[in-house]
Structure 1
Amino acid sequence: MDVIIRSGNDGFMTTPPRIITPPCAAPGAPSPLTATGRPLRWGVVSTGKVAAKVSGDIALLEDSVLQAVSSRVAENALAFRDQFGFATAYFDNDGGKGYEQLFADPDVDIVYVATPHGQHYEIARSALEAGKNVLCEKSLTINAREALELAELARSNSLFLMEAVWTRFLPIVHRAWEILHSGELGVIQWLQADIGFPALYDPAARLWNPTAGGGALLDLTVYPLTWALGTLGFPQTITAVGHVNDDGVDAQNALTLTYSSGAQAQLTSSLLASSPRTATVCGSNGWLRTNSPLHNPTELIIREHNSTPRIETFEPVGQNYVYELRDVTRCIQQGLLESPTMPLDDTLNTMRLFDGVRAQLGVSYVNDRAVPVAD
């Protein structure tokens, strides 16, 4: 069954204007490490691999302070504090959960949440209720209902909230979209993007654990989808097929997006197979392709019809999370409650899209069956 994407004000997605280029990704912009205002004091919830990469990049910003980190386990929190130079470490004890203690710290301006997906809603909600700005890893939540509740909570309390889709902030990605929207390659007709790797099966690991929101869709599909959204916008219809394992998570999925223009996009995500991890966009006068990985490429290959390909290269800065972090920092310094590059409406539309895909695949999570608690 296709998911039909209706337009209008009925709660479904509409095709947005072109994704806005953040100032730090514009041609000729200063280094993303350069300060744009007052120092921002960061709290990090998690001591995992992604949290480590992002914390390393936070430390590179001239106007950042690594204020606090939290973990359930004291040993992990203390080791992470010492490794990156955080001022304070919090962990679960008689005083409460580590992240709750971090949220009570008056010296924390913004919280970065990098826990498994299934915990995002609870932790981000707690941070917002404590009056903290929040940058939360993708996917923001398990479903659209949870995402909408967080968005409404942030908006009602005048707090910044953003889903950490870092690929949206990279200069090379915006350069690609500039070429694709310029008409150089003609009318865009077709897009293919894939991401896949053979993940070691462990039912307790976050990638495979349904309680943690495991599966390819919530962990990987946002990356190929980002290329479709930046090139063609939100689709008119979506058809999804995939393999759901015995634990109830999607080990692999393939999405076909169709547009009123006649354009199509094929997106594939897999925890079973190694893929090229590239994006290819084809127009009536040529094509553009990234090198691998599509979520953090360093090269664009552009070929107009019957001409010699040209290659444009971009050097990373740190782990390249710095562009996302720079824009979040700038937004909060300037009093913005959302990033124009990653607005909450785009997150809500994406979560609605993913809810529809999961309905086609037959994937559901504990969070889907949770009954909201009345205030």
Structure 2
Amino acid sequence: MPAQTLSPFVDAALDAAHLDDPRTATGRTLGWGVVSTADVAENVVPDIAALPDARLVAVSSRDQGRAEDFARRHGMLRAYGSTATATGLDRLAADPEVEIVYVATPHGYHHRDVSALLRAGKHVVCEKALAMTAAEVRDLLRLAREHGVFLMEAVWTRMTPGFRTAMRRVRDGRLGRVRSVEASIGMHRPLDPAHRLFRKADGGGVLLDMLVYPLTWTSAVLGAPEGWSARSELGPTDVDLDTALTLDYGHGRAHVSGTLSTTVPHQVTISGTDGWLRVDGRINCPTTLVLQSADGIRRGAAPVVEHVAVAGAGYGFEMREATRCVQQGLLESPVMPWADSLELAELFDRVRQRIGLVYPHDAR
């Protein structure tokens, strides 16, 4: 069977032997800082700590007490809260032992926080979405280039073993020529106007928070769409509670959706001329793949189920990639290049315009 052509970032991920075991050092030890004590930071920081060439130096928060509690529990050397003269972020940015920073604040603060860090000469791994708008993303890329520092959007799925395993099956031609992708993610969440997912200023809603995951799969196997249509429902706080995109690639199609209003299966199905591959459960960090061939369907054979082991919570793979890039003097990762972050932000801008979702940042 002929090999399937995949996006360049997939080839880079599959050729990255250092992603096979994130707990193998790739160079000198880096001093890490963390911005925010949010839940996602609680999950990610232990995977950073597990890297043999990482040293946890400092965490920042608006509240000194929260910063100190986080630092104590995660074995960090220093905790920076806001004072009368400086924010916790500014204090962390001034720490000479902090070389690279993981930013875990809500989307609406990314441009502000990452800008300050880049200007201070820090390398940055920023949670997705990299910024609220394409204009903000362009500005961050400009700053990273001007200051000669590494910047990466933390789309961790691209580096995970489940995603890489799935892409190997596709690249080997197991599905033939890929023709379609169907993907869904989300669950019902009761309305909470104070929660970041429902706050417009924080970049709440489905679009920025969820759709990057199904779109990671479509871009991997189908590339950039030639056209698209969108359907969305805005909620009482004026963020999108449901958004679905239908994407046309000429040679194929995709339908992706995210929701805060309905409990749906988290699932990706990639279908080709010779078979299909399904990811069940965690589409952002897959642990179970189901593969069926056209011949198997004809013979009445059961699909093949493949289980993929993941080290830690699965975030160590993206942190290994960021570490390697900094150690080698790269400004961007070939697995998560700047052009991909900008392309996604531009698509989201166009989708928001189509569905009538306006952020306060749009006026800047």
TM-score (norm 1): 0.92
**Where does residue 268 of structure 1 map in the other structure?**
257
Report SS of the residue matched to 1:207.
helix
Q: Per-residue deviation at 1:174?
A: 1.6
Q: 1:139 to 1:18 in 2, by over 3 A?
A: closer
The size of the alignment, in residue pairs, is 354
Distance in 2, Cα, partners of 1:320 & 1:103: 27
Distance in 2, Cα, partners of 1:181 & 1:238: 25
**Where does residue 106 of structure 1 map in the other structure?**
96
Are 1:21 and 1:174, in contact at CA under 8 Å, matched by a contact in 2? Answer: no
Partner AA of 2:11 in structure 1? I
Q: Which segments of 5 or more consecutive residues in structure 2 lack a partner in the other structure?
A: 1-5
Are 1:185 and 1:286, in contact at CA under 8 Å, matched by a contact in 2? Answer: yes
**Where does residue 3 of structure 2 map in the other structure?**
none
- Is 1:302 the equivalent of 2:296? no
**Where does residue 176 of structure 1 map in the other structure?**
166
Q: Per-residue deviation at 1:18?
A: 5.1
Q: Per-residue deviation at 1:245?
A: 1.4
Report SS of the residue matched to 2:209.
helix
Q: 1:62 to 1:24 in 2, by over 3 A?
A: farther
Match of 2:305 among 295, 305, 311: 311
**Where does residue 198 of structure 1 map in the other structure?**
188
Are 2:9 and 2:334, in contact at CA under 8 Å, matched by a contact in 1? Answer: no
Q: Per-residue deviation at 1:187?
A: 1.6
- Is 1:116 the equivalent of 2:106? yes
- Is 1:337 the equivalent of 2:331? yes
Runs of 4+ in 1 over 3 A off after TM superposition: 15-18, 20-26
Deviates more, 1:16-25 or 1:140-149: 16-25
Q: Per-residue deviation at 1:74?
A: 1.2
Are 1:95 and 1:101, in contact at CA under 8 Å, matched by a contact in 2? Answer: no
**Where does residue 369 of structure 1 map in the other structure?**
363
1:188-210 Cα shifts (integer Å, max 9, x gaps):
11110110111221111100000
Distance in 1, Cα, partners of 2:166 & 2:246: 22
Partner AA of 2:340 in structure 1? D
Partner AA of 2:243 in structure 1? N
Q: 1:178 to 1:139 in 2, by over 3 A?
A: same
- Is 1:321 the equivalent of 2:312? no
Q: Higher helix share goes to which structure? A: 2
Are 1:22 and 1:327, in contact at CA under 8 Å, matched by a contact in 2? Answer: no
Distance in 1, Cα, partners of 2:310 & 2:166: 16
Are 2:81 and 2:88, in contact at CA under 8 Å, matched by a contact in 1? Answer: yes
Q: Per-residue deviation at 1:247?
A: 1.9
TM-score (norm 2): 0.94
Partner AA of 1:328 in structure 2? A
**Where does residue 47 of structure 2 map in the other structure?**
57
Report SS of the residue matched to 1:240.
strand
Q: Per-residue deviation at 1:24?
A: 8.6
Report SS of the residue matched to 2:25.
coil
Q: Per-residue deviation at 1:296?
A: 1.2
- Is 1:218 the equivalent of 2:208? yes
Are 1:25 and 1:323, in contact at CA under 8 Å, matched by a contact in 2? Answer: no
Q: Per-residue deviation at 1:176?
A: 1.1
Are 1:45 and 1:113, in contact at CA under 8 Å, matched by a contact in 2? Answer: yes
**Where does residue 22 of structure 2 map in the other structure?**
32
Are 1:25 and 1:170, in contact at CA under 8 Å, matched by a contact in 2? Answer: no
- Is 1:156 the equivalent of 2:172? no
Partner AA of 1:34 in structure 2? T
**Where does residue 57 of structure 2 map in the other structure?**
67
